[in-house]
Amino acid sequence: MRVYFDNAATTALDPEVLKEMYKVMETQFGNPSSIHAHGREVRTVIERSRKTIANLLHTSPAEIFFTSGGTEADNTAIRCGIVDHKLTHAITTRLEHHAVLHTLQAMEKAGVIKLSFADIDNKGNVDYDHLETLLKNNERSFVSLMHANNELGTITDLDRVGDICEAYNAIFHSDTVQTVGHYRHDLTKLKLHFMVCAAHKLHGPKGVGFLHVNHKVKINPMIYGGSQERNMRGGTENVYGIAGLAKALELAYAEMDAHQAYIQDLKSYMMAKLQQEVPGVTFNGETDPSKSLYTVLNTSFPEMEMADMLLFNLDIAGISASGGSACSSGTDIGSHVLTAIGANPNRPSVRFSFSKYNTKDEVDYTVAKLKDICLVSA
């Protein structure tokens, strides 16, 4: 049996998305910047896709800018949001994806900003009172807090952060890569200035995403070139990817409630099976369904001699997952997220992440293999 439990890294392309992309590939090849009929046809595909996405998010198409994915979108929001608004202070946490964390750290190293870290607890929850203290004690700030942590699944309350940021006139960016297509985002209500999406996290194609820029903030391009994306992002658009992204998001919204119930049940089932079959297993991050991303389960296993071989042994058994352990020293290459929440560096951790294509049979098979591996390695 081959089992894929690494959906937080990337998801399988939905067949309906592939059909939509193939239709465009087969019949429409013009350059969307060309003014002739071939170009206009392709331009229509892009703008129709932009409108579809905007309607689902309850925003204006003018606020959606297509990118090569989440990393570019995060970099654009952070670099341009800070520089163009002449901000000298930023706030984040030590749990952020490296697309955010490394960007902010590079800007601090270059002397552009002073970087502050909001406190987090041992489940990955943001200390909102400390966030407010940091905003109160510094000049106007740029705040970057992810919606759901990609390793732990712990969810940040965007409404609460938005209210706090509004009170201190801060610019608020959220890396929403793990939640777009899995939760509904109403941008008429969320007090966000920037949010991002990567299509391959919701059964769309790799190499395409979008940045939402609230009309209340203005930024200059990070990538210069042509006048594409209303002069906001130079370079010929990834037309096939954009069409696939729009279709993937459309499908995700249409099927969201059913898939959320199905995947949450799968996650709960795996938690129960692991606790039953593998003594000493614990879970990292929030386990309360209302506070945890239903697609992610981060599991710590008992200390074992071959801890660094756990993922390898799973792979040999035909099971794809990801993870590692907390760093035990400054030179270790481990999970910065697990280190930040104070996880035991001697216990191996595995992130299992689920999609609509997973089954309970796959869970049973995986737990049985984990039980065998832990017994042998004990």
The token pair at 66 is 């297509």
Q: Are 340 and 95 in contact (CB under 8 A)?
A: yes
- φ/ψ of residue 247, rounded to 5: -65, -40
Q: What percent of the chain has pLDDT over 70?
A: 96
Amino acid present at 143: V
Q: What are the respective helix, strand and coil percentages of the chain, to the nearest 5?
A: 45, 15, 40
Amino acid present at 206: K
- Tell me the pLDDT tens digit for each residue of 38-97: 999 999 999 999 999 999 999 999 999 999 999 999 999 999 999 999 999 999 999 999
Q: Which domains does the chain have, with CATH numbers?
A: 3-10+256-377 (3.90.1150.10), 15-251 (3.40.640.10)
The pLDDT assigned to 309 comes to 86
Chain-centre distance of CA 30, in angstroms? 32
Please determine, for residue 376, whether its predicted confidence score (pLDDT) is greater than 70: no
On the 0-12 / 13-18 / 19+ scale of CB atoms within 10 A, 97 is buried
Strand 319-320 and strand 3-4: the pairing is: parallel
The pLDDT assigned to 323 comes to 83
The pLDDT assigned to 377 comes to 59
Give this prediction's pTM.
0.95
Q: What is the mean pLDDT of residues 294-319?
A: 90
Question: Which residue's structure tokens are 């960007």?
Answer: 103
Please, where are the H alpha helices in the chain? 15-27, 37-57, 70-84, 98-109, 128-136, 158-167, 228-231, 239-277, 310-316, 336-340, 360-377
Rg (the chain; Cα; Å): 21
Active site residues: 327
Residue 20, classed as helix, strand or coil, is helix
Element (H, E) at 352: strand 349-353
Q: What is the DSSP letter of 226?
A: S
- Tell me the pLDDT tens digit for each residue of 86-139: 999 999 999 999 999 999 999 999 999 999 999 999 999 999 999 999 999 999
- φ/ψ of residue 237, rounded to 5: -65, 150
Q: Which of 14-18, 154-158, 338-342 has the lowest mean pLDDT?
A: 338-342
- Going 158 to 164 to 168 to 169, the CA torsion angle's sign is positive
The pLDDT assigned to 330 comes to 52
Please determine, for residue 343, whether its predicted confidence score (pLDDT) is greater than 70: yes
What is the layout of strands, in order, in the sheet containing 282-284?
282-284, 296-300, 349-353, 322-324
Q: Are 165 and 171 in contact (CB under 8 A)?
A: yes
Query: d(Cα 286, Cα 225) in Å, to the nearest integer?
Result: 44
Q: Which residues pair with 266 in a beta bridge?
A: none
The pLDDT assigned to 125 comes to 98
Chain-centre distance of CA 62, in angstroms? 23
